[in-house]
Amino acid sequence: MQHPSVITAGYTPVFHAHTAQVACTIESIDKKIDPSSGEVDEENPDFIQSGDAAVVTVRPQKPLSIEPSSEIPELGSFAIRDMGQTIAAGKVLSVDERE
């Protein structure tokens, strides 16, 4: 949506998922996707920028209750905010539970 530069692995914005606000680190950018067709444009890209759609792996800094959107849509959506602006929005594809 609105980001002044590119986003790479290691970037740590604030994820807003339902009522939670948790800093999350982008671990890796897995795929860059063509927004119009949904087809994979690039595997393991170095960065994404404004207008791109991507599949990314994210690690929350604190415990976060979230579910895949395929199971519970209300708990599977999120927005990413940084610098007082919403920079992205998306849905959770899968969750790896950690203890």
Compute φ and ψ for 75, nearest 5 degrees: -100, 10
pLDDT by residue (tens digit) across 46-82?
A: 999 888 899 999 999 999 889 999 998 888 999 999 9
pTM above 0.75, yes or no: yes
Q: Is the confidence at residue 99, as pLDDT, over 80?
A: no
Residue 30, both tokens: 């897995």
DSSP E strand boundaries for the chain: 14-17, 20-33, 40-43, 53-60, 77-82, 85-91
Whether domain 14-91 has CATH 2.40.30.10: yes
Is the Cβ–Cβ distance between 57 and 45 less than 8 Å? no
Question: Using CA of residue 44, residue 38, residue 77, residue 82, what is the dihedral sign?
Answer: positive
